Amino acid sequence: METTTFPAAMLSAVLEAELGDGKLDAAILATPASDARLGEIPLYDEPFWVAVPNAHPLALEDEIDLADVGLDELLLLADGHCLRDQVMSFCSDALPQEPRVSTQHTSLATILALVGAGAGVTLVPATSLSGGWVTDSGIALRREKSRTALRSVRMA
The answer to whether residue 156 sits within a structural domain is no
Helix H or strand E encompassing 57: none
Each residue's pLDDT tens digit, 49-103: 999 999 999 999 999 998 888 777 888 776 666 666 677 676 666 555 555 555 5
Q: Is the pTM higher than 0.85?
A: no
Residue 7: what are its φ and ψ, rounded to 5°?
-60, 150
The answer to whether residue 137 sits within a structural domain is yes
Neighbours of 86 (CB within 10 A): 21
Answer for the pair 38, 22: CB distance below 8 angstroms, yes or no: no
Domains identified in the chain, total number: 1
Burial (CB count <10 Å: 0-12, 13-18, 19+), residue 4: exposed
Query: How far, in Å, CA of 134 to CA of 128, rounded?
Result: 9
Query: How far, in Å, CA of 126 to CA of 108, rounded?
Result: 13
Query: How far, in Å, CA of 73 to CA of 112, rounded?
Result: 13
The answer to whether residue 62 sits within a structural domain is yes
The answer to whether residue 57 sits within a structural domain is yes
The answer to whether residue 142 sits within a structural domain is yes
For 42, the 3-state DSSP assignment is: strand
The answer to whether residue 24 sits within a structural domain is no
Each residue's pLDDT tens digit, 27-51: 888 878 888 888 899 999 999 899 9
List the CATH number of the domain containing 140. Answer: 3.40.190.10
Residue 82: what are its φ and ψ, rounded to 5°?
-65, -30
